[in-house]
Structure 1
């Protein structure tokens, strides 16, 4: 079955073949980021009056289920992004003041975090989203929101809900971040962290616990790690690109091995952390002599910076293409160095961040990696804009919406 989606001015028309398909009182068209089944890709730019064809599925009742083309809304930490959502309501003269738009973040299977709500001309932005979330206001039926100064914690799944009196409909959008996954364990050794300790350990290293999809992507890009670690959903997994007996048997296929959901308080593993683009830069502090840990920390401070965290070094390796064949102290007391272009004298044939462990802080001497924070507000060229507070406020005018936000469909 083929369904045609047509943008005719300010309204959307669906038709099967040449027959229009009537909407109910309220229909919601969400540019969903879930991987839809049996759909064709739609161009990012939908021209008015031009038909776009997608394939559709039918559920057990015979009702038509429409899916948009699969894709991702992707940005990086510090960037701006649009979470796209459109709706159509009948009759067209429905009072817009009775339309409620609500955005929430899905934090667990049955848990939601309020992000934004609008009813008529009243708006409210919640919690950490204050001053960063605004309606796009691109015309009638547009329920899209713009998120500025995106943080690592913004990563995840969002629900767009539009309500008209007794009718409502919802759709989902996944916000993805460009970034890098890295395994982490503390000075105390391997398999010492319960779930909450792993979560804290990642935060201390300028990161968050990675999701399964982020770990799977890292595995596709070559991540191979033989120790199991916590993920953000409470599962324990590890990626194997080169099967071997010491890592779950050599005859097992390559892939992301999964221990399932484990007890968050009692069981202990390592952690898989995720970080994104930096609001600053990491550099190796050039000195005439190597120093112990305390001297290294002081040296960075004297240079106007701080000792770099593990997540910051990984981000610098990934985005800054930092390549340095010299071992150096990091803030957690570990010794590491980043290699973009492998060479034999720099730890092997694969690119990555080399880890030499946690040596004695007082008696072992190395160089040091420092982190210098950007002085500008925001990251990646994003300017912080003062927006609605956590109270009901008047809607901002359309010309006050943030500019240069990115929409990826």
Structure 2
């Protein structure tokens, strides 16, 4: 199984705007933007990056957003900047809000989200130490007294999708149990976009699994009768949205880079599950989770033709360079099932966290000339100058 990057584009309704364009640069030269928009309506106009910005877990990223307003001498203390996270169910999670010099960061974003402050009209925010849960769509809203406008930025993560089922067997997880199972393996439920990317690179899995939007799907690269008939085209098969409590399937999980390292613990003898746990602890580590092994296979290029215990009691091993004696002609993480924990003997894969590792440097999307998306809102919303909610 290999991975592939695809582009997700945000499309906005057509707008009728009369404006003149001048080009300038941020003082730190990190990316170019459209700086001057002449508009006789006095409306606030927000510009965001089309497509997506990409980083990885543990990294830092700028979500680009700029605004222009008339008149130019508007009191900066009256400008409110608000960022929210948008889910597929059109739920909005508060991320950050600023009103003049007052700022507030919400929930899990506290201590991680800051205004970029790259000059007048800059509403961009920097997210540090990006998490798996940060993946998705963000809304930038700028309000100037009675006028407001919004734009959207899609945050994508480099990562890997993997199918998962528990020791109890196939089709044993309702939606919430699938969500928990992915989290227990250092992952989250994958999105349709992430699963589609994985399919484009050859992911082929014959069992249907939950995705984060509550749908049930599965990717088929090589059609065959036991997987929805041989004469049907390859693609991501979709069962649609299923009952989250009553129906049971497998899960498709997504994970990204590790703050640490997975390694095969070299020992003179094979061990059972309990002995594997103790061996990793003695080595200053913990037994690796399934998601951690997949991340190590993807990003560390971990290649080991030796089966070993993982934290969930399964036996797996990662293959980057396929060879006949190591399970076939395709790269991937081989799964040998869930053996008896007391009496079956294998090696073990351990995970050691990088205690001193800090978040990576800020990755700023380079915005090509004439590529910022411009939107104008006709809504009029009164603003409370004393509130940052």
Counterpart residue number, 1:406? 364
Tell me whether 1:353 sits opposite 2:333 in the alignment: yes
Question: C-alpha offsets along residues 162-221 of structure 1, whole Å, 9 cap, x if unaligned?
Answer: 000110000110100000000000000000000000000000000000000000000011
Q: Give the drift of 1:375.
A: 1.4
Q: Does 1:320 align with 2:300?
A: yes
Q: Summarize the Cα distance change of 1:9–1:291 in structure 2 as closer, same or farther, 3 Å threshold.
A: closer
**Structure 1 position 32 matched with structure 2 position 50:** yes
Whether 2:326 is the aligned partner of 1:368: answer no
Report the equivalent of 2:126. Answer: 146
Please say if 1:257 is aligned against 2:210. no
Are the counterparts in 2 of residues 13 and 21 from structure 1 also a CA contact under 8 Å? Answer: no
- Cα deviation, 1:319-370, whole Å, max 9, x if unaligned, reads 0000000000000000000000000000000000000000000010000000
Identify if the C-alpha distance between structure 1 residues 181 and 9 changes in structure 2 by more than 3 Å, giving closer, same or farther: closer
Shift in Å at residue 405 of structure 1? 4.3
| Aligned pairs for 1:7-406 within 5 A | 7=23, 12-14=35-37, 22=40, 24-33=42-51, 72-379=52-359, 381=360, 404-406=362-364
Contact 2:55 2:363 in 1 (8 A): no
Mapped contact 1:74–1:408 kept (Cα < 8 A): no
Q: Report the TM-score, using the length of structure 2 for normalisation.
A: 0.85
Deviation at 1:29, TM superposition (A): 1.1
Aligned equivalents of 1:6, 1:212: Cα separation in 2: 39
Q: Count residues with an aligned counterpart.
A: 344
TM-score (norm 1): 0.81
Helix, strand or coil: the match of 1:13? coil
Q: CA deviation at 1:31?
A: 1.4
What is the CA-CA distance between 1:8 and the residue it aligns to?
5.2
SS in 1 for 2:195: helix
- Distance between the aligned counterparts of 1:200 and 1:359, measured in 2? 22
- SS of the counterpart of 2:179? helix
Backbone CA RMSD of aligned residues: 1.8
Cα distance between partner residues in 2 of 1:177 and 1:161: 23
C-alpha change, 1:329 and 1:224, in structure 2 (3 Å) is same
SS in 1 for 2:170: coil
Secondary structure of the structure 1 residue equivalent to 2:180: helix
Q: Which runs of 5+ in 2 are unaligned?
A: 1-15, 27-33, 368-389
SS at match of 1:113: strand
Task: Summarize the Cα distance change of 1:79–1:138 in structure 2 as closer, same or farther, 3 Å threshold.
Answer: same
On the 8 A contact 2:42/2:71 being kept in 1, the answer is no
User: Secondary structure, in 3 states, of the residue corresponding to 1:215?
Assistant: helix
Q: 1:62 matched to which residue of 2?
A: none
SS of the equivalent of 2:252 reads: strand
Q: State whether residues 30 and 172 of structure 1, in contact with CA within 8 Å, keep that contact through their aligned partners in structure 2.
A: yes
Structure-2 change in CA distance of 1:23 and 1:408 (3 Å): farther
Which 4+ runs in 1 deviate beyond 6 A? 1-4
Structure 1 unaligned blocks of 5 or more: 15-19, 34-71, 383-403
**Higher relative contact order, chain-length normalized (CA < 8 Å, sep 6+):** 2
Contact kept in structure 1, 2:19 and 2:39, CA below 8 Å: no
Equivalent-residue separation in structure 1 for 2:22 and 2:286 (angstroms): 55
Cα pair 2:36 2:68 within 8 Å, conserved: no
Q: How far is the alpha carbon of 1:13 from its aligned partner?
A: 3.5
